[in-house]
Structure 1
Amino acid sequence: MKKMIFLLILLCFTIVLKGCTQTIKATDFDPLDGEENIRMNNLDSYMFRDDVQYVDLRNLEARFEAGYIDGFEPIPFFDYLDNNGFYRNDTYEFNKDQLIDEKLIRSFFKEDKAIFLYSDGCIRSEYIRSLLSYLGYEKVYVLGGFFEYSGNNVVEGDGKYKLGDKVYGTYLDDDSNLLYTLSATLDMGRKMIDVRFDIQDEQKNSLRSMTQNDVDYLETFTIIENLSINEMMTLYQLKLYLLDITNKEVSNDLNINVKVIDNILSLIEDVVTYTN
């Protein structure tokens, strides 16, 4: 059932892409031979061709959060291909014994077209290129990472998304330049059954397990996460609870560090507004 739902989501993305993107016939260009040096810095010269399949290997939430390149369809490496089409056992060195569903792989990747791949870096793309090469695909190009692209076809993300029962949001503290993130899974009543807070520096390094300015982020986030799940809270209920602590209308029995509550409240407020 989950596989069917995921395929329907991918189908919806494909329909949107085909409806919004104008392709140009390959006869208007020199044919690709598989040897061209096509990277992010010259990608725009090869966009919207009907002899190319453009593939974004990142997870779907990355498209919502960071954005994507127009014309690229999502075929998530981690969220779908991994453990469905192949089993890597945590390695990125492909060998034929890792392939578990050749038919599925061929159903996603078009053998009659050149294939352009990108993700956050090159590791996932190189793995898929090796796999497709083993299956006989000849024109597979690894473009690089999404953030290397500076062309004219970026569709910007907004730092948050809602997909089915999953929500994600971010909030940037302008004073510290620290990015607070929230990801949660909600039940039918919008109560949190899984939630995780994190905090990142300007280089996107997680500070969750660190202590800064006498704030133990791991302890603080864990307290709030456990409270949310154990009390079966919605995001809105968690927001009200933290507001009551800030306004001293309830006692802070759990010793939640008040130094980060304001930023967490801003983060939750943004997500609640978006998901309602």
Structure 2
Amino acid sequence: MLTSQRRAMIVERLNRDGEIIAKTLATELDLSEDTIRRDLRDMAAEGLLKRVHGGALPLSPPLPDFAARQSLSTDEKAALGARAAAMIEPGQVIFLDGGTTTAALARALPRSFAFTVVTHSPTIACELERHPSADVVLVGGRLYKHSMVAMGAQALETIRGLKADLYFMGVTAAHPSHGLTTGDMEEAATKRSVAENAAATFVLLTREKLGRASPWKIMPLAAASGLIVPAGLSSDVLAPYRDMGVEVIEA
């Protein structure tokens, strides 16, 4: 089999199965495992997939800038935000991640009782400018413009002094085996620190983020208290996540 044919098969299998196991594919094609691993390594270098131990995963697509993301999957994000907002109780301290899905959550926050919102995103804080009952705490630091969040030593120091009741996390990818991931090293560390200082962490996931992987791991899937996903996904898609023992909440 020609290299181009193997690569085409690898792409097809990734799209179909959501992962490649090098040993299994090598046995199926009667090739050495080194040959398949070399293909995967070369394809990863070209940005076609993400190499993981024993094989490969689909690479989450590059995110457009923040302004462009605001117009994507708006109905789905609104549904996720409304479901998450319904979980909040009076007097709680919640941490809202940056991102367009959590912005939809900010717009859906309850207005009939008081609670505190902590965020490291100025865009989230601005969404709450006219909220009648939310006390807003904005964490400062170096602004990461792509996601419009503050990061760095100052942000981490503030976050470590926090104890939130709920953390609503945004990620770029989620995979049963390879966990919750994002595209920036510092952003991953910031999200991990928030989760470590929250009583419960719920991850809001639009459908294109499932079964994917980004370069930087935040934490294992099982470390999350639950996943909030769009309604109507097939049981086959959701079964691997439920098998991890994580609550899956459909919105």
Fold shared per TM-score above 0.5:
no
Considering only CA atoms, is the larger Rg found in Structure 1 or Structure 2? 1
TM-score, normalization by structure 1: 0.26
TM-score normalised to the size of structure 2? 0.27
